[in-house]
Structure 1
């Protein structure tokens, strides 16, 4: 059985599967729309008899339409979104509290939990595990902390 003996509908469908599988290997979310265009061509070919030139034209036009209309929408779904502001970025206001999870005994550093993450922390005075601290300063990946008093002041 040769390639010519296969149904053109089946060939377009398999081309769509090939393009969708190829998208897993290539970045950019472009080949995905060629897969949709191939499937669209297979669907139209199952309804209407078309010459090879017309099949290629349907493939090209439908792929471009899918690309233009759906790319930004599909990209948001599959690629997600990124957080625009890092809470601990340089220049960001430093405010908030954390909890000591590893004793801080100066000059050595300990660890705190702050903003859902764990940070290396240093302090001017010893702080034990479980102490609630205020973030005073950030330098690279280490934060300087101080204890909170009952009034919330150091």
Structure 2
């Protein structure tokens, strides 16, 4: 007499994949997702072919590691996004048009420092600006958003 609780190996591998996906949400390391995909690959193969348990485990490990090594770096670039977010850009862009106080002398080709909105920033200018002089912030000069371009007021 066959047991009522007999579950298909394909369904078991599918549930293992769901478990890895759920674990990925709990521990977002972007690794467990690929093991879940490996389990789903084995689930599909077990559904289509008659494969023994040893072959299933070997397929699971190899497909999971292959997916992990080939897709993780690309997927991180795609899903992680840019390090700078909209809040950072709007905060930095809000400096444009503000009056700054030169705290370290700025010369052409030699950056100095200005104080704007209560913070100190690296600054560059095409003209010499002496310490204590006021300047107008006209642009964000560096890619990291930490260097401001200023002109005399």
Inter-partner Cα distance in structure 1 for 2:78 and 2:91: 29
Q: Which has the higher helix share?
A: 2
Count of residues paired in the alignment:
109
1:23-46: CA deviation from partner (whole Å, max 9, x where unpaired)? 011132111111000000011111
* TM value normalised by structure 1: 0.59
**What is the 5 A alignment of 1:45-84?**
45-83=46-84
**Aligned CA distance change for structure 1 residues 139 and 147 (closer, same or farther; 3 Å):** closer
Inter-partner Cα distance in structure 1 for 2:35 and 2:118: 44
* TM value normalised by structure 2: 0.59
From 134, 139, 142, give the equivalent of 1:146: 134
Which ranges of structure 1 fall in alignment gaps of 5 or more residues?
88-112, 119-131
Contact 1:133–1:146 (Cα < 8 Å) also in 2:
no
**Equivalent residue of 1:24, what SS?**
helix
1:143 to partner: Cα distance: 4.8
Inter-partner Cα distance in structure 2 for 1:142 and 1:134: 12
